[in-house]
Structure 1
Amino acid sequence: MESFKHIVNSRLNVIKSLVLTQTPQDELVSDLQTACVPVTTDACRTCADPCDVGHLEYPPKFDVDTASDMLGSVKPYMRQVVISTGKADWVREVTEEDGSLAYLLPKVSSDASVGSSPKSLSTSYPSSKPTTRVGIINSSHTSEDDGKHRVLVFPDYKVVMHVSPDVNGAKELYQNAVSPNVGRTGAGSVGENGNVSSYPLPYACVILLCSHKRRDNRCHIAAPKLETSFCRVLESENWIVHHDLEDEDCMGQSLEEIEGTEEERDKVMADRLREASEGALHDQKTALILKISHIGGHKYAGNVIIYTPQGAGVWYGRVSPHEVPAVVQHTILEGKILPLLLRGGVNLNREQGKSLLDW
């Protein structure tokens, strides 16, 4: 039965490819350049097909949509929060798990009022109307604080510590770090009863891999192979790879402890993010790789999001271990987009001649 199903799916993909065709690379490159997005014209895959260099392989029945256009398949968002769970798989819809932080945060944000001039709005590619939408996902990273969460906030590129999985914790997270009424450094010092503390992330990049089996088994299959592949390639470039966050003691002064005007606090954070991009913490560039819950587009597995200290967020689809060397070389090391893998992103626009790694 499985073989028959695989044959049917394969033939359906062939039919789709006759009806739907991807936009040619030349056209994608032209569109990206017009939008001032740094791009490379080099191939996404550097090995032969079949592979002749020993890359990990997806199983034969790993069917993905290779025909339709992926670009524009990311729902625009202002911020994305990534919640620690210590797991690599979750209930089908994480925001419907009663009592969880992922469940509580949308309720808190829907009740909150947004000022007339939001302080934080990300620029989406492809371009879209400004939005205050918050994307909420769970992650494999853990928390040092039993019963509480460490929450990553992107594209701000920071972590909020000691977030309680209750209404008060969700409110505190939203008001101090997620609301469009607060800038990148947050709301400043927390109230008398506040518990959270936040820090710029000390990594030269953060790589998020969808591994959500209960949404789609393809993501569950792809994530560990991609994780291994990214580790191998990054380590060959003399990078350190982490799979969980640094301890809070290693992160320096919290953003809440920084005094001064919002502009002065922003400068301190920007300086620390520059240090992170240069590998200051370990005298060597470090990447953080995490597995995450569903982000949409599982038909484009493997799904990869790459965030940088410079504020960019790159969403790639159809990534296999064969494409990882090019992703590392061109996007992580050079700050350029591989157009045929691009689903969308935030803050990708740069002045002419600059890359995603420029400030």
Structure 2
Amino acid sequence: MADLSRSIPAGGPLAAPVSAAPTLDLEAELQLAGTVPHYERHVFLCYDGPDWWPDRIEDADPDCLPGCLDTAIKARRPNLKKITRFNICEGKDGSELSNGDVLIFPDMIQYKGLTCSDVNDFVEEDTCERHCVVSWISSDCVDKRCHIFGPSLIRKFLEEIKVQRLRQLTVSACSHVGGDKYSGNIIIFGPDSKGQGAGHWYGLVLPCAVRYLLCKHITRREIVDELWRGQMGLTKEQQKEALKLRNRENARSSDLPKEKHDESVLKDQNQTSSRVARFETRERAWTALAVVSAAAVVFFASRVYKNPN
């Protein structure tokens, strides 16, 4: 795991501008890059809040929606091919993320109002049709840091969203996505430079780096290599090669004006646990940031999604 202590000064509270960047050497970056297991799709089921989620999705009551969906997917798994991560996120009736809604990345699709009675049709018509095999991700967190530090990271996101006037962003919780050794995990989904859906993972992200992350990835749509773990759709080796390629490209453009780096962005780098996901679609934009506490938290913004119904 990358040792970020080398980039942390002994100064006072964070006072870095939004353009300030955390600094890691190439070796440290490579220790983060290539740590995302290969998968091709991420699915979120909107369902109540963390207090109502089972510790392990596979142990969910078969009569509740997560249990119904789990059972239906497992029954059809032999006919499916693509590996997809599956998580629960917060749902609230009457909101843009209501109970039973399903979000699919990078397809940028939101299905509205899934119920136990139509779970089988949903799996047949969507999951099987797309040759997708879903692996449930347990919502239990094996690292206590998820429970202790996650809320502070969530609060920082809310604070910075307000300060930066990112009114398109909203917040929801999501279940544990794994990777506790990289506490402070963030997944950002959105179109790449070619307009195709992409999902980028960041690790070791703490509240003091939130401002910079929002500014660079959300506002500027630039990858933060210093904290980049990998990308949905790429193997671990491809993730490492992608970082090396960007480093070479950056070196070739070194004659351009350089951005000032402020190492204080990662001050107080504790072992925090978090998860963030970003979601944007082609018709109404989404941004989703998921941060793990006992479960996780998801931020949704720029709401443009496809509703196939």
Q: What is the TM-score of this pair, normalised by structure 2?
A: 0.57
Matches within 5 A, 1:88-99: 88-89=50-51, 90-99=53-62
* Residues 9-51 of structure 1 deviation map (CA, whole Å, 9 limit, x = unaligned): xxxxxxxxxxxx6499xxxxxxxxxxxxxxxxxxxx8x85444
Match of 1:345 in 2: 231
CA distance in 1, matches of 2:68, 2:207: 36
- Alignment counterpart, residue 175 of structure 2, candidates 274, 290, 293: 293
Q: Does 1:161 align with 2:47?
A: no
* Structure 1 residues 76 and 88, CA gap change in structure 2 (3 angstroms): same
Matches within 5 A, 1:136-215: 136-144=86-94, 149-164=100-115, 166=116, 168-179=117-128, 181=130, 214-215=141-142
Match of 2:150 in 1: 223
Q: Does 1:74 align with 2:36?
A: yes
Q: Does 1:102 align with 2:52?
A: no
AA of the residue aligned to 2:158: C
8 Å Cα contact 1:222/1:301 also seen in 2: no
Q: Does 1:112 align with 2:76?
A: yes
8 Å Cα contact 2:29/2:227 also seen in 1: no
* Structure 1 residues 345 and 101, CA gap change in structure 2 (3 angstroms): farther
CA distance in 1, matches of 2:67, 2:118: 12
8 Å Cα contact 1:84/1:149 also seen in 2: yes
* Structure 1 residues 111 and 297, CA gap change in structure 2 (3 angstroms): same
* Residues 193-215 of structure 1 deviation map (CA, whole Å, 9 limit, x = unaligned): xxxxxxxxxxxxxxxxx9x6654
* Bigger-Rg structure (1/2): 1
Unaligned runs of 5+ in 2: 17-27, 235-241, 250-277, 283-309
When the two chains are superposed, the root-mean-square deviation of aligned CA atoms in Å is: 4.2
Query: Structure 1 residue 344: deviation in Å?
Result: 2.0
CA distance in 1, matches of 2:203, 2:148: 14
* Structure 1 residues 112 and 180, CA gap change in structure 2 (3 angstroms): same
AA of the residue aligned to 2:153: L
CA distance in 1, matches of 2:15, 2:91: 29
Match of 2:263 in 1: none
8 Å Cα contact 1:223/1:291 also seen in 2: no
Identical columns (%):
23
* Residues 213-270 of structure 1 deviation map (CA, whole Å, 9 limit, x = unaligned): 6543312233322222122223222211xxxxxxxxxxxxxxxxxxxxxxxxxxxxxx
* Residues 41-100 of structure 1 deviation map (CA, whole Å, 9 limit, x = unaligned): xxxx8x854442379xxxxxxxxxx99933333222222111122213533212321314
CA distance in 2, matches of 1:108, 1:331: 36
AA of the residue aligned to 2:159: R
Show structure 1 runs of 4+ deviating over 6 A. none
Q: Which SS does the other structure have where 1:153 is aligned?
A: strand
Unaligned runs of 5+ in 1: 1-20, 25-44, 56-65, 119-130, 184-209, 241-285
Query: Structure 1 residue 159: deviation in Å?
Result: 1.6
Q: Which SS does the other structure have where 1:308 is aligned?
A: strand
CA distance in 2, matches of 1:326, 1:180: 40
* Structure 1 residues 96 and 134, CA gap change in structure 2 (3 angstroms): farther
Match of 2:82 in 1: 132
* Structure 1 residues 149 and 81, CA gap change in structure 2 (3 angstroms): same
| Number of matched pairs | 217
Query: Structure 1 residue 323: deviation in Å?
Result: 1.0
CA distance in 1, matches of 2:146, 2:30: 18
8 Å Cα contact 2:90/2:173 also seen in 1: yes
- Alignment counterpart, residue 221 of structure 2, candidates 335, 349, 355: 335
